[in-house]
Amino acid sequence: MRKPAESGTLPNTEPSSTEHEAISFHPIELTSERWNAVINNDPAYDGKFFYAVKSTGIFCRPSCKSRPPKIENIRLFDTAEQALAHHFRPCKRCKPTGERMPDDEWIQLVTDYIEQNYGANLTLEVLAEASHGSPYHLHRTFKRVTGLTPVEYIQQVRMNKAKQLLLQSELEISKIGASVGMANTSYFVTLFKRLTGLTPAQYRKQQHPPLGGHI
């Protein structure tokens, strides 16, 4: 649907943003040439510009092999310093600043992502894509930094959210499971019981006994 303008220029997503005017720089135009460099991972453009992805807060070299971003989320910079000054973090995979992001900072990105997306379908692959690392490396590093595997961590976040919902809402057990990303109710109940020693219904009843007559 989206058609490049006559000049070969794609729409700049933030043409008139004044949010970051304290740092003066000229945003680079997202031409179709540069966009092609990004989606084709073209190393010929490395060093000529950097692209940041607003939805992940990460910036990359054009050649980065990470999944192509959505065009509306992309923002270009002349230098890595400019991207850093705008609070984007260097990608772990293509290392646009030439240094590795410290592991604890990287894992923090992943745990933040889990906190924000626990209701969605989260797999190791999804987390690896979102944080620009390989699934294998992410799994190992995550375990070393947090003491838990990514899956264990996700389960813990989900069970904590489920506990809150059990106490603070009257939602059915199946709805609570679904809203914490576990649409399979029997699996949700089994996991809840394994991690807390009680079924969701028992937990709700124990913590929150029904008032007289109320079922």
- Which residues here bind Zn ion, judged by CB under 5 A? 60, 64, 66, 91, 93-94
Q: 25, 82 in Cβ contact below 8 A?
A: yes
d(CA 189, CA 105): 33
Instruction: Please name which of 71, 85, 145, 63 lies closest in space to residue 110, comparing C-alpha atoms.
Output: 145
Return the number of the residue (64 or 122) whose C-beta is nearest Zn ion: 64
Please report which residue ranges of the chain form alpha helices under DSSP H: 32-39, 80-85, 103-117, 124-131, 135-146, 150-168, 173-179, 185-196, 200-207
- Note if 64 is an active site residue: no
CB of 3 to Zn ion, least distance (A): 28
Return the number of the residue (46 or 152) whose C-beta is nearest Zn ion: 46
CB of 2 to Zn ion, least distance (A): 24
CA-atom Rg of the chain in angstroms = 22
Return the number of the residue (30 or 173) whose C-beta is nearest Zn ion: 30
CB of 70 to Zn ion, least distance (A): 15
The catalytically annotated residue of 60, 64, 91, 94 is: 60
What residues act catalytically? 60
